Chains A and B, each alone.
Chain A
Amino acid sequence: MSGQDIFFYVFSALAVAFSLLVVLGKNPIYSALSLVMVFFCVAANFVLLQAQFIATIQVLVYAGAIMVLFIFVIMLLNADAQSADLGKRRPFQAIAAVLCVALFALFAWSVKNGTTSPERAGFTPEKVASLGGNTQVLSELMFSDYILPFELTSLLLLVGIAGSVAIAKRKLEGARAESPKEGQA
């Protein structure tokens, strides 16, 4: 086993273990902290796939910004509320687990037996290195071939900002009719 293999198996096993903790954890705070670990392990896998820019963005945006948002909301709402929703409906959970494993088996079978296109676009690691590295190649593509999605992304972020502020400020109509005293936000 080469060093890369060991690197891959260690970080993917860690990621799977921590993602199980995310899904099965009782306390949302522990789930959020496990999710940070999953993001770091996935970033390590991106480095292994020679996507250094994506790995950096993963750590900055996911493990930094998004998780701060999650932890902020969890602490704001119910830091000590144990969600006891697991274990309530065991048959349903067993069915869901069996279905997930069956779908996994189906996907695994199709990946094993499928073939990928033999066409190569030609961005071998050596060529990417000769063009100035992963980040430079990506940024040149981003501002040439992918300029339209890039601009649409900025529009999406603007809509996201406005939408989240508008939604978080407003109270729902049905609940307002029920408790008129809390109507003034």
Chain B
Amino acid sequence: MTTQNFIFFSMCLFFIGLFGVVVRRNIVIILMSIELMLNAANIALVAYGRELEHMGGQMAVFFVITVAAAESAVGLGLVIALFRNLKSVSTEDIELLKR
């Protein structure tokens, strides 16, 4: 398995996630797409780390996973706050600044 195979796999996941972020209106699914993109970045980091025989890639993935955990906790807290106020999780209904 060459590094390029893993990079192409990671790019597939990344752009599927990007498509989800752009197209979907449900905030929870947008957050899940962001997790998908973070995972794609992790694969690329580990793959290039193996290519360069460097452990820094895997260390970076460890920190990315920690940041992703904190991010999803804060993001889902935001989703709950929005739902309590707006009774909706659609981005089309979030227009507080337009009023």
Contact = CB atoms under 8 A, between A and B. Distances in A.
The answer to whether A and B interact is yes
Interface of A: 4-5, 8, 12, 15-16, 19-20, 22-23, 25, 28, 31-32, 35, 38-39, 42, 45-46, 48-51, 53-54, 57-58, 61-62, 65-66, 69-70, 73-74, 76-78, 83, 85-86, 92-93, 96-97, 100-101, 103-104, 107-108, 111-112, 116-117, 119-124, 128, 134, 137-138, 141-142, 146, 149, 153, 156-157, 159-161, 163-165, 167-168, 170-172, 174-176, 185
Given A62-B65, A138-B59, A35 B77 contact: no
Interface residues of B, number: 74
Nearest to A124: B53
23 contacts: A8-B1, A8-B6, A22-B20, A22-B33, A28-B26, A28-B29, A54-B58, A61-B66, A70-B72, A73-B76, A77-B83, A83-B26, A83-B90, A85-B24, A100-B18, A103-B18, A116-B48, A116-B52, A156-B66, A156-B70, A163-B74, A163-B77, A185-B84
Interface in B13-31: 13, 15-20, 22-26, 28-29, 31
Contacts of A123: 53-55
A85 B53 CA distance: 45
| Majority DSSP secondary structure for residues of A touching B | helix
A45 B85 CA distance: 41
A170 B73 CA distance: 15
